[in-house]
Amino acid sequence: MAEFFSRWKTGLSRTSKAAFGRLAGLLGATEITSETWDDLEALLIQADLGLETTQAVLEALKAAVKRDGLTRASDLQSVLKLELRSRLASPPPAAFFAVKPAVILLVGVNGSGKTTTAAKLGQRFLQAGKTILFGAADTFRAAAVDQLQVWGDRLKVEVISGAPESDPGAVAYSAVMAGVARGVDIVLIDTAGRLHTRFNLMEELKKVYRVVGKALEGAPHAVWLVLDATTGQNALQQARAFKEAVQVSGVILAKLDSSARGGMAFAIQRELGLPILFAGLGEKPEDLTPFDPDAFVDGILG
Ligand SMILES: Nc1nc2c(ncn2[C@@H]2O[C@H](COP(=O)(O)OP(=O)(O)OP(=O)(O)O)[C@@H](O)[C@H]2O)c(=O)[nH]1
Ligand SMILES: [Mg+2]
């Protein structure tokens, strides 16, 4: 357990320095003044909490100050910690394992970390004793299939792919059918990065989603949105657009180890109600860990 927390601490050290880490300096042993609130507001916004969530957090803190008769700025630290923690739900257990194969669709904008996350998830599932198969439904770039194939070779997992520029829906369909035929536990489908603002690309994603459902009733059983945690508040816009296009069931926050500010995690939960399932804390397959709200809040507050 101690190792688990230290892993989060190390992983989040840059993220912490990028925003919340300045908290201790800000909240000294002085009295709480209007300046304290202004500084705190600025810090929370810089930390990517977004306006709405920032205001809600500040209001909750002010209420706590009144209720508990707090006078020192330093008292606010622990209250803030509790308040932030209360805004993150613990990820639900992976109930989808009840179906076989469970089909998971990974979606997100370009370069957010989908393919790396597919490999990381693959490794986790293998370690849990599951059999898996990858679907390489990114047919835009030849290199994309190669990238997943390299992971497939390394993890000894079959990769179903199509010809370059072939229909991504067709590849996703084949991957699900292959998963059924081989009797694997989980089919992990990697999709091409797409800008959430591009209409035709989002329509294409909807098609992939529908086609997967045609291949196997009830599929995809999960749609996980991979967000690059360093993209800040834009991650929230992305999440909103992907949620509108397909039934996103959860979020994976990748790159939390690289100077992300982390605050969007709170906004994603508050404004979109999407659970954060996993956190990416590095580039290696073992650098994916179930999202732990306590470790996360501890880690970002430094
Ligand atoms: N530090 C760090 N780097 C990561 C993490 N996840 C992914 N990366 C890196 O981010 C870059 C992009 O990752 P990919 O997995 O290729 O992203 P993608 O979403 O598949 O990209 P496209 O297919 O082009 O849309 C790579 O250099 C990864 O090594 C993470 O959790 N931490
Ligand atoms: Mg990719």
DSSP notation for 114-161: HHHHHHHHHHHHHHTT--EEEEEE--S-HHHHHHHHHHHHHHT--EEE
Structure confidence at residue 12 (pLDDT): 85
Structure confidence at residue 261 (pLDDT): 82
**Cα of 112 from ligand 2 centre, angstroms:** 8
SS3 289: strand
Q: Which of 283, 284, 288 to mutate to test the pocket of ligand 1 (most atoms within 8 A of CB)?
A: 283
pTM for the model stands at 0.93
Counting as low any pLDDT under 70, the low residues of the chain are: 1-2, 4, 93-97
Cα R_g (the chain), whole angstroms: 21
Structure confidence at residue 236 (pLDDT): 92
Helix spans in the chain (H): 2-18, 23-26, 34-46, 51-68, 75-86, 114-127, 142-155, 168-182, 199-215, 234-245, 264-267, 293-301
Q: In residues, how long is the chain? A: 302
Residue 222 main-chain phi, psi, to 5 deg = -150, 140
CA angle 69, 72, 75 (to 5 degrees): 80
Structure confidence at residue 29 (pLDDT): 79
Q: Which of 116, 194, 198, 276 to mutate to test the pocket of ligand 1 (most atoms within 8 A of CB)?
A: 116
Q: Going by DSSP bridges, is the β-strand pair 276-280/250-254 parallel, antiparallel, or unpaired?
A: parallel
Structure confidence at residue 25 (pLDDT): 82
